[in-house]
Amino acid sequence: MRIVMIGSGYVGLVSGACLADFGHHITCVDKSAAKIDALEAGEVPIFEPGLDTIIEHNRSSGRLDFSRDLAPAVAEADVVFIAVGTPSRRGDGHADLTYVYAAAREIAAAVTGFTVVVTKSTVPVGTGDEIERIFREEFPDKEIAVVSNPEFLREGAAITDFKRPDRIVIGTEDPRAMEVMREVYRPLYLNEAPLYFCERRTSELIKYAANAFLAMKITFINEIADLCEQIGADVQKVAKGIGMDKRIGDKFLHAGPGYGGSCFPKDTLALVKTAQDYDSPVRLIETTVAINDNRKRAMGRKVIAACDGSVRGKKIAVLGLTFKPNTDDMRDAPSITIVQALLDGGATVHVYDPEGMDAAKDLLGPVTYGSDPYEIAEGADALVLVTEWDQFRALDFKRLKGLVRTPVLVDLRNIYPTAEVVRHGFSYFAVGKKS
Ligand code: UGA
């Protein structure tokens, strides 16, 4: 099959590379000359484990190419995926669909013969209908089916998520489009990944509802964590105890500094706005958004409390900046708010992250960037672990104890057993456990 991916950002690149790996011919299109030049020179503009190898392998076997020219690629395509960005619109929190509609019009102008146009970007309910209306009214001679096919990839685990998905949701009732989509994903459902067909609007909502539910689950356990600290219970054990109930499930019950990233904050907000527009408010999600925003600030206060109530004139070492490990993505990362709170409190802040420091430079205030955890720990009054990178999981506490000024560890991801840290003479402050 010939497939075109419009937008060579995170979703477009991962999906394009994985579909090429399954034997389709893929052209990834992007308007950014710099991005396409870099990709053609073999550089992958994002950090995602395993992606560079797949891209390289499929480029050299001729199944994957890159282009700035949408029209020639689309003219030959059986399927065109729209994977452009849908950022939060400034001011009102709605998803900004400018790029989606612009891409749709360009695609329609270029297609020849029956073509399936698929929205892979996260788009609000009704976007597929609007694209269809544009096609019908502005391009009445073209034969195009509009399908919704949301993606459920997690950054850092995107290749596995793509190749071994829990489900593939496909929103269309057009039998010809269904056949084409079956063909696109045939290599995957041979791996027993279930294809789930439903109406287009339902499919669009599934994406938002899934992300909102996961955001709510995290927020729930974060509030239980706060309660645990007050009443002397252990949130990790509570999470385990409730997660063993299959109706609840044990995933996404890790208490932490609040969710971040390019998806949950944006998608929860967009769902809230859509629901308000339809006069059918989703109050649980409204509350989730508010609690999560507060939580990031509260984590700053937690660090200050661990430093005896003040960080003025103290040196704080922050380990991990990205919104989660195995990514260089800093969007809506809790570290941004936490670092700001520490700077506001008069601290000197030294930071280290394995992949996120370039992106962090535009987002953090006047902090000092170090080259490993030990360098930033020198003379520190507290170590604050914000992102659970593997390399922070076996810190040499003996060495750290010799470096810091005050042995305090605030572990916002609960990656250490209390006893191990305390044994090395550190005061240990975790999330949802009595310190
Ligand atoms: C999320 C969803 O998990 C994907 O299914 C979805 O495709 C993607 O959004 C998207 O819409 O594109 P992602 O944002 O990459 O994926 O990251 P997650 O692994 O879901 O983590 C999101 C945030 O929640 C992170 O800040 C993470 O640290 C936090 N989190 C996650 C917790 O605090 N506790 C948990 O138990 C799980």
User: What is the domain-level CATH number for residue 126?
Assistant: 3.40.50.720
Same domain assignment for residues 411 and 320:
yes
Same domain assignment for residues 229 and 341:
yes
pLDDT digits (tens, 9 = 90+) for 364-380: 999 999 999 999 999 99
Query: For residue 372, what are its two tokens?
Result: 């490993």
Q: What is the mean pLDDT of residues 154-178?
A: 95
Same domain assignment for residues 55 and 167:
yes
Same domain assignment for residues 303 and 165:
no
CA-based end-to-end distance of the chain = 58
Mutate to test the pocket of ligand 1, among 240, 264, 337 (most ligand atoms within 8 A of CB): 264
Same domain assignment for residues 221 and 161:
no
Q: What is the overall mean pLDDT for the chain? A: 95
Complex prediction ipTM: 0.98
- To the query of whether residue 228 is one of the catalytic residues in this protein, the response is no
Positive or negative, the CA dihedral 397, 400, 406, 408 is negative
Indicate the annotated binding residues for substrate.
Answer: 152-155, 207, 252-256, 260, 324
Same domain assignment for residues 285 and 177:
no
| Statement: residue 91 has pLDDT above 90 | no
For 72-130, give the DSSP string. HHHHT-SEEEE----PBPTTT--B--HHHHHHHHHHHHH--SSEEEEE-S---TTHHHH
Same domain assignment for residues 188 and 210:
no
Same domain assignment for residues 203 and 192:
no
Same domain assignment for residues 320 and 185:
no
Same domain assignment for residues 315 and 374:
yes
Phi, psi of 49 (to 5 degrees): -55, 130
| Statement: residue 191 has pLDDT above 70 | no
176 Cα: distance to centroid of ligand 1 (angstroms): 34
Q: pLDDT-based confidence at 434, cuts 50/70/90?
A: confident
pLDDT digits (tens, 9 = 90+) for 31-77: 999 999 999 999 998 889 999 999 999 999 999 999 999 999 999 99
305 Cα: distance to centroid of ligand 1 (angstroms): 28
Nearest CA to 108 out of 76, 81, 144, 72 is that of 144
- Cα 241 to its chain centre, rounded Å, is 27
Domain of residue 358 covers 199-435
388, amino acid identity: E
Q: How many domains does the chain have?
A: 2
